[in-house]
């Protein structure tokens, strides 16, 4: 039998296999591990390097360096929150800019926290701004820089990352006021943005990975493919968290407390490593004048017991409404024996105790109402306990400003309420003043920095009225802010779910009427004088210039040229403030300087290409210039970035109707009504277009529907009567 010739290649393969098989097992596993781990590491490192090389995505730091007039500056990064929120829902800092190299003799302070620290509803009157006035008045020969890096809806996970970035710019002091958002902020159990992660290592890893360009690329890809869709198309405030209820016995609350404690410990370590002092403030919430947002019964409550509970609860509420508070208390206490987890029950009980003069019991009941509230928008006792413990760490860097104790001391019967807060957690001017004063007192006891061994030259009491005068907080501003609280908070969910809601609205409307009368008596010249006095005291305060420009450009004042001067100052100090460009562009448009107006809108869009207001106002200019194609393009971009921009929908419909395009007219009106179903003008215009294009019976029905939104609106009623006469 003829032997076959050996295959040369096969022999080589066999030799290689034989040589591999002779490799010791440990080394073979090492090769496999290198291949399994090393190759992906190399690949992703190269990808990350490439993405950074082409400058893909955004800078993830809270602060970024810029250059202006041959000077290195640091400014806020409006894209920072993209790490924690969907891009179209991401909150921003109040704009700021400062020199990267701290000048000699300057005492630099950063304020960190959530919306209450930011000063919502108006950051111009935050406690940080009031503290700035106090320090300048008490120490006129010293230089202070106070910058707020607080932000709406963030919690300690985000604040910790901001603190790391702040530490690079030589702060002397960090003031921390946070705790309200630990449950609803990113990685909290009540968040709609990032799910809670109980493992600390995985949580830190997740936050770190989100700083990479690869993470940004993946997020962008998933958003484009609608794989990672945000829960809402636009920011809807507290309403977004309504479904994310967290009961007092939820095990995830313990995870939240542990994470909060760990984050404060890490914050202390950052301060210690960088020789920075920290003042922690306890957090204040409204107990007396803010009913719970969401009440839920005990899960093991039987049907028969539920009926008994309901009978007692409604019997108690009937007694309460009749003013028989003692009988109401008796019924509520009986109901509590059946189910004590229902938050509204505790609040009603607290209110009845208050009316009977049992203030200690009232305080305890109000506090339980907050603790049992399933929409946990207010910091509870455990949060403040963790804050106090963090401040008590013996490192020489941490201090406590007990704002809660200070405000309780001055509140009626030591129960915090409307005297210091607008609604649930946001402080009014008096509340912000008290926090600033508490921080100042703690700072002056520290013997630190330029304040060391120094006593203030000016021993005059720094009153809240003095601080208000220096910041131009006047009746006009007070009215504007209270109006924004009513329309932006109280009349919106979840406040509309609260007990006694109609009473709260009525009281606020009466307050606004009174303020309106005061403003009419004093006149707007008085308000203008307030601003001018404040600017003499604080000529370099860009936020003050911005407030004055807004006032001058208002429909009541219309001093547009004077407003332009102050907007110009703002943009010289904060050249990346796109809102100032938009507002100046609007003023230029009102002065008839249309091309300059368009230029400002384009400058704003160059900084932030997602500003609906800049597109909308550009559309208005193009309409005036009869450039309807450009107007349509601008309005369409406005509604793309702000789907509920009803004015843009109305203007689009007007253009299409003038062009005789019936289908586009109704299509855009219907799209607008999907996103803003209760908008009066959209509903009214739908009726007008129906009538115009011959669908008269539908138009009448639509106008009747519209009348429900504004029952006292004579324009609607007159139009309806006119059409009915014609049809009859």
Res 238: pLDDT: 87
What b-and-e string marks burial along 483-508, b requiring 16 or more CB atoms within 10 Å of the CB? bebbeebbeeebbeebbeeeebeeeb
Instruction: For residues 64-77, give the mean pLDDT.
Output: 91
pLDDT value, residue 12:
53
Three-state SS at 540 = coil
* Residue-level pLDDT at 33: 66
Domain 63-98+110-288+378-448+464-473, CATH 3.40.50.1110 — does that match? yes
Give the separation between CA 562 and CA 103, rounded to whole angstroms.
Answer: 33
Higher pLDDT among residues 592 and 459, named by residue: 592
Instruction: Tell me the pLDDT tens digit for each residue of 213-263.
Output: 888 888 877 777 766 555 566 677 888 888 889 999 999 999 999 999 999
Pair 210, 183: CB distance under 8 Å:
no
Omega cis (within 30) before 121? yes
The whole-number average pLDDT for the span 7-31 is 56
CB 680 within 8 Å of CB 715: no
According to the model, what pLDDT value does residue 70 have?
A: 82
* Predicted local confidence at residue 21, as pLDDT: 53
3-state secondary structure of 52: helix
Q: How many CB atoms lie within 10 A of CB 329?
A: 22
Is pLDDT above 80 for 447?
no
| Helix, strand, or coil (residue 173) | strand
pLDDT of residue 27: 67
Q: What is the pLDDT of residue 715?
A: 87
Q: Determine the 3-state secondary structure of 401 from DSSP.
A: strand
The mean of the pLDDT values for the chain is 91
pLDDT in tens, 584-608: 999 999 999 999 999 999 999 999 9
The dihedral formed by the CA atoms of 405, 406, 410 and 411, expressed in degrees to the nearest 10: -40
Cβ-contact 565, 533 below 8 angstroms: no
Tell me which residue has tokens 């700021």: 96
pLDDT at 1: 42
Q: For residues 213 and 51, is the Cβ–Cβ distance under 8 A?
A: yes
| H-run or E-run covering 579 | helix 578-590
Strands 63-68 and 106-113: unpaired
Its pTM stands at 0.91
Residue 572 three-state SS: helix
Would you state the structure tokens that stand for residue 258, as one six-digit string?
């542990």
Going by C-alpha positions, the residue among 115, 77, 107, 116 that lies closest to residue 95 is 77
Nearest to 123 by CA among 97, 157, 92, 144: 92
- Environment class of 294 (CB within 10 Å of its CB; exposed 0-12, middle 13-18, buried 19+): buried
User: Among 519, 510, 521, which residue's Cα sits nearest to residue 478?
Assistant: 519
User: Comparing 16-20, 168-172, 610-614, 709-713, which segment has the lowest mean pLDDT?
Assistant: 16-20
Instruction: Give the span between the Cα atoms of 422 and 438, in whole angstroms.
Output: 19
Strand, helix or coil for residue 648: helix
Q: Distance (Å, rounded) from C-alpha 113 to C-alpha 175?
A: 9
CB 111 within 8 A of CB 175: yes
pLDDT digits (tens, 9 = 90+) for 537-561: 999 999 999 999 999 999 999 999 9
| Residue-wise pLDDT tens digits, 407-430 | 999 999 999 999 999 999 999 999
113 DSSP β-pair partners:
177
pLDDT in tens, 561-592: 999 999 999 999 999 999 999 999 999 999 99
Average pLDDT over residues 664-692: 94
Domain 303-371 has CATH 1.25.40.10: yes
Q: What is the mean pLDDT of residues 457-470?
A: 86
pLDDT tens column, 275-324: 999 999 999 999 999 999 999 999 999 999 999 999 999 999 999 999 99
DSSP 265: H
- Stretch(es) of the chain classified as CATH 3.40.50.1110: 63-98+110-288+378-448+464-473
Among 18-27, 158-167, 320-329, the minimum mean pLDDT is found in: 18-27
Beta-ladder partners of 63: 76
pLDDT tens-digit series, residues 350-406: 999 999 999 999 999 999 999 999 999 999 999 999 999 999 987 789 999 999 999
Question: What number of other Cβ atoms are within 10 A of residue 177's Cβ?
Answer: 29
Q: Where in the chain is the domain with CATH 1.25.40.10?
A: 303-371, 526-727
Q: What is the pLDDT of residue 2?
A: 45
pLDDT at 14: 55
State the sign of the Cα–Cα–Cα–Cα dihedral 609, 612, 613, 618: positive
Collapsing DSSP states into helix, strand and coil, what is residue 109? strand
Element (H, E) at 97: strand 97-99
DSSP 419-469: TTBSSSS-B-HHHHHHHHHHHHHHHHTS--GGGTT---S--S---HHHHHH
Q: Which residues of 451-472 are buried (b: 16+ CB within 10 A; e: fewer)?
A: beeeebeeeeebebebbbbbbb
Lookup: tokens for 257 = 């407390």
Residue 562 CB burial class (10 angstroms; 0-12, 13-18, ≥19): middle
Q: What are phi and psi of 277, to 5 degrees?
A: -85, 145
CB proximity list for 472: less than 8 A, separation 6 or greater? 530, 531, 533, 534, 535, 544, 547, 548
Rounded Cα distance between 702 and 719, Å, is: 12
Q: Provide the token pair at 700.
A: 């009448």
Using CA atoms, how far apart are residues 612 and 636, in angstroms rounded to an integer? 9
Mean pLDDT of 5-9: 50
CATH superfamily for 526-727 is Tetratricopeptide repeat domain (1.25.40.10)
3-state secondary structure of 106: strand
List CB contacts of 26: < 8 A, sequence separation 6 or more.
Answer: none
């Amino acid at each position: 039998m003829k032997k076959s010739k050996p295959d040369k290649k096969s022999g080589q393969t066999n030799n290689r296999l034989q040589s591999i098989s002779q490799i010791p097992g440990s080394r073979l596993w090492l090769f496999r591990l290198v291949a399994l781990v090393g190759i992906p590491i190399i690949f992703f490192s190269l990808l990350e390097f490439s993405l950074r090389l082409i400058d893909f995505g955004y800078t993830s730091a809270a602060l970024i360096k810029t250059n202006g007039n041959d000077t290195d500056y640091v400014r806020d990064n409006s894209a920072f929150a993209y790490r924690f929120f969907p891009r179209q829902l991401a909150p921003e800092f109040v704009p700021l800019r400062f020199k990267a190299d701290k000048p000699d003799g300057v005492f630099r302070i950063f304020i960190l926290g959530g919306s209450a620290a930011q000063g919502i509803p108006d950051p111009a009157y935050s406690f940080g701004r009031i503290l700035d006035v106090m320090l300048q008045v008490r120490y006129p020969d010293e230089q202070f820089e106070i910058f707020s890096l607080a932000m709406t809806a963030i919690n300690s996970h985000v604040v910790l990352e901001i603190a790391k970035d702040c530490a690079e710019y030589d702060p002397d002091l960090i003031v921390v006021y946070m705790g309200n958002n630990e449950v609803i902020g990113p990685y909290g159990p009540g968040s709609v943005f990032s799910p809670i992660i109980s493992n600390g290592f995985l949580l830190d890893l997740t936050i770190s990975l989100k700083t990479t360009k690869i993470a940004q690329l993946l997020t962008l890809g998933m958003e484009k493919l609608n794989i990672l869709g945000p829960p809402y198309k636009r920011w809807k405030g507290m309403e977004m968290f309504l479904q994310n209820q967290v009961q007092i016995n939820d095990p995830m609350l313990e995870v939240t407390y542990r994470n909060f404690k760990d984050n404060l410990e890490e914050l202390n370590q950052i301060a210690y490593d960088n020789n920075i002092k920290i003042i922690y403030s306890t957090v204040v919430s409204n107990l007396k004048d803010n009913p719970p947002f969401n009440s839920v019964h005990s899960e093991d409550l039987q049907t028969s017991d539920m009926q008994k509970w309901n009978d007692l609860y409604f019997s108690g509420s009937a007694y309460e409404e009749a003013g028989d508070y003692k009988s109401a208390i008796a019924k509520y206490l009986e109901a509590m024996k059946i189910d004590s987890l229902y938050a509204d029950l505790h609040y009603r009980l607290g209110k009845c105790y208050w009316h009977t003069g049992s203030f200690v019991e009232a305080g305890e009941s109000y506090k339980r109402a907050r603790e049992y509230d399933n929409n946990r928008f207010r910091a509870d006792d455990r949060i403040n306990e963790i804050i106090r413990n963090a401040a008590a760490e013996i490192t020489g860097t941490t201090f406590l400003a007990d704002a809660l104790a200070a405000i309780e001391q001055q509140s009626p019967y030591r129960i915090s309420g409307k005297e210091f807060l607008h609604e649930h957690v946001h402080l009014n001017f008096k509340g912000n003043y008290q926090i600033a004063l508490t921080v100042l007192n703690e700072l002056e006891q520290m013997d630190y920095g330029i304040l060391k061994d120094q006593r203030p030259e000016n021993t005059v009491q720094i009153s809240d009225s003095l601080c208000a005068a220096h910041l131009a907080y006047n009746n006009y501003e007070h009215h504007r802010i209270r109006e924004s609280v009513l329309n932006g908070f109280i009349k919106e969910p979840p406040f509309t779910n609260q007990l006694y809601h109609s009473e709260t609205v009525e009281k606020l409307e009466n307050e606004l009427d009174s303020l309106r009368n005061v403003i009419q008596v004093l006149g707007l010249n008085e308000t203008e004088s307030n601003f001018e006095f404040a600017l003499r005291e604080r000529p370099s305060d860009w936020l003050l210039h911005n407030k004055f420009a807004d006032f001058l450009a208002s429909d009541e004042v219309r001093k547009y040229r004077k407003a332009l001067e102050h907007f110009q100052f703002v943009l010289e100090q904060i050249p990346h403030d796109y809102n100032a460009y938009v507002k100046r562009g609007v003023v230029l448009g009102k002065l008839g300087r249309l091309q300059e107006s368009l230029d400002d809108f384009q400058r704003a869009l160059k900084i932030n290409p997602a500003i609906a207001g800049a597109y909308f106002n550009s559309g208005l200019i193009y309409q005036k210039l009869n450039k309807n194609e450009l107007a349509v393009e601008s309005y369409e971009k406005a509604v793309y970035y702000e789907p509920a921009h009803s004015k843009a929908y109305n203007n689009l419909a007007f253009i299409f109707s003038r062009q005789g395009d019936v289908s586009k007219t109704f299509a855009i009106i219907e799209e607008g009504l999907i996103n803003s179903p209760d908008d009066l003008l959209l509903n009214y215009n739908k009726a007008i277009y129906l009538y115009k294009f011959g669908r008269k019976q539908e138009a009448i029905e639509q106008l009747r529907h519209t009348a429900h939104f504004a029952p006292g609106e004579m324009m609607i009623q007159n139009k309806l009567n006119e059409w009915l006469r014609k049809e009859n």
